Structure formats: structure tokens, C-alpha cells
Amino acid sequence: MSSGSTSYLRFPHLGGSSLVFVAENDIWLGSVDGGRAYRLSADQARVASPRLHPGGERVAWTSWRDGAPEVLVGDIEGGLATRLTYWGDRKTLTLGWSGLDEVVACTAAGQPSGRRTWAHAVPTDGGPSRLLPYGPVSGLADGELGTVLVSAVMSREPAWWKRYRGGTAGKLWWRPAASAGEDGEFARLLPELDGNIEAPMVIGSRVAFLSDHEGWGNIYSVSVDGGNGAIGTDLRRHTDHGSANSADHIPAFYARHATTDGDRIVYECAGELWLLGSLDGPARRLDIRLGGPRTARARHHISPERHLASAVPDRTGRLSVVGVRGTVHRLAHRDGPARTLLAEHGVRARLARPLGTDRVVWISDASGEDAIEITALTEPANGTAVEPKRYGAGEIGRVLELTCAPDGSRAAVACHDGRLLVLDTVSGELTELARGADGEVTGLAFAPDSEWLAWSDPVEAGVRRILIARLTDEAPVPIAVTATRFVDTSPVFTSDGKHLAFLSYRSFDPVYDAHSFDLSFPNGCRPFLVPLAARTPSPFGPSPDGRPVGGSDSADGPDSAVSPTGTGGAGGPDGASGPGGGDGAETAAEAAADAETGTNKDASKDASKDASAREFCRALAWASSR
């Protein structure tokens, strides 16, 4: 192979001065003298085992163009290839030609086991194939003195399972031509050879093959000239790949895919083609240069919808941060161009999220380990590139989840070792908030006021609970929202911050099975809603004042007002403050002021409950989609 070529050449076969082989998932035609080769196929599909016609005008090969491997035949001068088989078997492989009008191939189609591949003669005119009476074989070759075949139950070549010595290794069999017409049986050659055998070839009075019984895959031959009764003797090695005495220019790799035209042997080693002119001479490397474009190395445009990793909208709903195959992009929902935020070769970014209104955060492996990176959503006015700020490289391990506070002040990550870390995006301080007792923390969710964080905590095997913590405290302490009895997951705050919705596996309701006369125990999951303050009523319960006549859902009132900072809530789990913010005394004062002015708030309270119910439905939909 030319030093300027970087292609990997495989599956060679020769006939006369012509040489066919496989490169870049296509069949190529070259010369045994080297030089430039030309492409015969352009299917851009996996191909293997091309075999030249004895007359040199056609070539047959195995192709995965239509899914399963099938036998195709085409002209040397070009044109469309013709499909000869429709077996649909993954073990189909082209072996050679039988005469001028039949291709020999092996397949397990119609057999009780995929390991039992039989040889078939396939007519090139499209007729039905003919089963050859050799039994299960993986390799076959005919010569003037007889027929040689390899029986192997193992489905891998020696180079794929080096130095295999098991009972499914290939075995060499020989039948002289004199006994072929008398239904003569095959006799095993070299039963004492402790190695894997493949690629049988008949060259004159000798049978050549590939074997690794000496530790490396090389070409060997044995005599089958029965004139002196010396069948299966005089074992010789003809190549020195991997040998301690081999020359420096001979690669120490397995010889593979050896074929012959009856006089010469061509094979592949380390992606290069080698020619053995005779069994008495040394092997030489063929200088093959490929012509035409390198289609397999050309830039490939992917389909984003097939490789979309994440798409998270910002708070304004005007744009989304999109992750596609390790790259990050900013995509406007209506007008405006898309901007690539990260597309660096060898760097994989994931879990990209908007951070506030002007920044974006993701997990990157640019330093070799997972790290948190933050950069701006928009380009600077002067157009200069700004490197992302990196935090926690080598400290956070492998990140499983990432979520951001609505105001962009914090980001929380769940790590593979069970740690829950919180990053202060202003100071860059990374602190450990909690650690799972038996597994990874999941379901991270910030409250609308960005002060509270909820998550699902693994207490023990098969038990998870919901915890929340106020991050603005000097030493945040997790507060249990649910008991350690069930499997509670996917917490999410309602947009007003008054309730926490989550999914829970806590229903044991056996039903009669529809397929068997017995009870079935489905793993029932149901949504639940928790008020985060003692005085927050259930949005689904009846109102103490009843529903007023003519009440409007659109009425405004103190309970239905939602503040961007969450100040419309009635307090946290302790009745004083919570994710909804606010103070219980202020709420009582407002209620007293409303009573003094005589304002009727019944309609607004009823509207608030309906709004809370709608918030729960939205939160439930979000929790179910996570």
C-alpha cells in the first residue's frame, strides 16, 4: 500500500493480472502489479469476499446493501449489480465460482441452526440455487487432485479470536478427485494441528490454508499427492508474520482473507495486500493506490431530529438551548438566527440549560473529566470570543442531572456517587448539599423564588422520599416532605410556589389478570400534591364559604396573585416561610384589612383554587415527562 494512502484494504482475490478487493465499503479493481485502483461499486454498504469470474469479465461478492447479506454479481466494465440470492441469513458468504455460470456461496438458510452453513451453487441467470453435498462447511475449494473444505462451528475468523483452541475451531478435510464419483468420504488432514484453520486453497499438489497454531495467523501448506501415500504430510509455513525471525518490513499481525487463482496467493495483513507468487518464494507487499473521492471520509450532515439530546426553553419562551450530538446551540422560536455556543472537535457537551435570561450552562468533558461550564447566550458587542467559565473539573465525577434556578443564581447537579452539589454562579462556590444513602439523587427541581430545591432521595433499596431545602440559609438543612415508606420521585413546584407535586409508587391494588386465572399485581404510580404551608387549602377540596353564585374564575384577589419572586404564598412547611415566600402575619393582616373594608373575596378564593388545580395539572404533566 502506498505511504500516501490511508485506506484499509481487505478481502483480496486475483485472476490473471486483475485484482479485486474491498475498501471504504465498496468493491475495487486493480492490478497485481500495483498502481491505481478503480471503484466497481458505489452502494456505500458493507461488502465482503469478492471473487473474480474464471474468465475475468465478472465479479461476485457478498453485500449488506438490502439489510441481510446476499450474493451480488456485476460486470468488470461497470453497471448495475444483480442480486442473486434472497436468503435473508446473516451467515451468507461468497466462496467462489463453479464453472462459468454458477457462484458458490454458503448459508444457514433453511437449516435448524445458524452455525450449520451449507454450500450452494447459485446460477447467475437468476434460477434457484443447488445444494452441494458437502455437509456443513465454512470454506471450500476444488482442484485437479480433489476437493478441500473447512468445517467450523465457530462463526469468527482466527483474527477475531486469536489463538482459540476450543472444539469449534476449523478442521481441514480432503477428498481425492478419484473417489468423488464413487460417493467417497472426506478424510481429515492434520488432526494433530492444535489451531484454528480457515481459507482452504488447492495449489498444484498441495493444500494451503491459514492457521494460528504457532501463535500467529500465517499461510501453511500440506502435501496431498497420494503417489507415495504421503497425504497430509510435509507441513510448511510460507509467511513469517509475528515470527521472531521475520524481517522488519513484515508487520506482526495476522494474515487474513487468503485466496488463490491456483498458482498464486493474495492475502491481507494490517490493512495491506500481500502477494505470494509461489509456495517457494517470499511474500511481497502490493503498492495499491485508490482513485476517486474518499466518500466514507467526507463530511456527513446528520439529521438533528434523530440526534436531539435536549431542548430547554428559557423563562421568556423566546428561545431554547438545544443539545445535538455533544454540541450546544441557541435556537430562537420565531425570528432571529441560530447561534452555535459549543461545537469543538473531541469535546462532548450535554445537559445544556438556560441560566437566567442571559447565560447558559452545560456539562463538558473538555478537561478530560466532567465539569460545569457557563457562558453568555449572546455574543459580545466587539465580536471577540469569550471562553466559558469552568467549575468543578475533577471534583464532581460523572454528572447525571443538572437543573438551574429561575433567576440564574444557582445550579444544582446530581453526581454518580450520590452527591447533590449546588454551584453559586456568582461566586463560583461549589458546596455539597446532601448525599444519597443508597444510590443517586434524582428529580432536581427549583422553586419559582429560586430559594428552595426539591429532590428525590434514595433512602434504601426500593424506597425513595422527597426532600426540600432552603438554599438561602447559612447551613441548609433538608426537610422531609414524604415519609420513608414508598417510592416517591419527580418532584416539581407549582408556578405559584404553594404546592409540590410528585409521582409515587404507593398503591397496592391487585386485579384479576386478563390472561391467566389469577391475581395480577401492577406497579401502580399515581400523582400527589402537597401544600407547602399549614394554612394552604387543597385546590380540590370544598371551600368553607362555598362557591358563590355567579363566581368568576378571572376574579383577582390576594390568593390568586402570583409574584415573580413567589411572595404570594402563605408560608413554608413550618408555617412561617416557604418556597412561596411571604409571611403568615402579613397574610393575616391583609385578610383583616379586607374584612374591615367589607370586600367580598369569595369569588377570588374560588378562582384561586381553580387556578391552583390548573397549576397542579401543569406540574403533573411536567413531572410525568421527565
Q: Is 13 helix (H, G, I), strand (E, B) or coil?
A: strand
* Cβ-based neighbours of 255, under 8 Å, separated by 6 or more: 210, 217, 218, 219, 239, 241, 267, 268, 269, 274
Q: Cell triple for residue 20?
A: 479485486
Only one residue has cell 482442484, namely 143
Confidence of residue 577 (pLDDT cuts 50, 70, 90): very low
Enclosing domain of residue 428: 306-531
Confidence of residue 586 (pLDDT cuts 50, 70, 90): very low
Tens-place pLDDT, residues 325-335: 999 999 998 87
Cα–Cα distance measured from residue 241 to residue 136, given in angstroms and rounded to the nearest whole number: 30
Is 203 a member of any domain? no
Q: Which CATH number does the domain housing residue 420 bear?
A: 2.130.10.10
Confidence of residue 560 (pLDDT cuts 50, 70, 90): very low
Is 501:528 a contact under the CB 8 Å cutoff? yes
Is 119:95 a contact under the CB 8 Å cutoff? yes
Is 149 a member of any domain? no
Is 297:306 a contact under the CB 8 Å cutoff? no
Torsion of CA 503, 505, 509, 512, to 10 degrees: 100
Cα–Cα distance measured from residue 330 to residue 343, given in angstroms and rounded to the nearest whole number: 12
* Ramachandran region, residue 216 (left: φ > 0; alpha: ψ -120 to 50; beta: rest): beta
Chain mean pLDDT for the chain: 84
Is 268 a member of any domain? no
pLDDT score of 600 = 43
Confidence of residue 608 (pLDDT cuts 50, 70, 90): low
Tens-place pLDDT, residues 151-176: 877 767 888 888 888 888 899 999 98
Q: Cell triple for residue 163?
A: 489463538
Is 415 a member of any domain? yes
**Angle subtended at Cα 413 by Cα 345 and Cα 461, rounded to the nearest 5 degrees:** 120
Is 465 a member of any domain? yes
Q: Spell out a b/e string for 53-83, using b for 16 or more CB atoms within 10 Å of the CB, else e.
A: bbeeebbbbbbbbeebbbbbbbebeeeebee
Domain count, the chain: 1
Is 501 a member of any domain? yes
C-alpha dist (Å) from residue 159 to 50, 253, 390 = 19, 9, 45
**Angle subtended at Cα 10 by Cα 218 and Cα 138, rounded to the nearest 5 degrees:** 65
Neighbours of 344 (CB within 10 A): 11
Give 196: exposed, middle or buried? Use CB within 10 Å, 0-12, 13-18, 19+: buried
For 376-400, what is the mean pLDDT? 85
At 468, the amino acid letter reads I
Tens-place pLDDT, residues 262-308: 999 999 999 999 999 999 999 999 999 987 777 667 777 777 788 89
Cα–Cα distance measured from residue 262 to residue 290, given in angstroms and rounded to the nearest whole number: 27
At 343, the amino acid letter reads A
Tens-place pLDDT, residues 510-529: 888 888 888 888 778 889 99
Is 575 a member of any domain? no
Is 59:40 a contact under the CB 8 Å cutoff? yes
pLDDT score of 590 = 44
Is 408 a member of any domain? yes
Q: Cell triple for residue 379?
A: 455574543
Q: Is 160 helix (H, G, I), strand (E, B) or coil?
A: helix
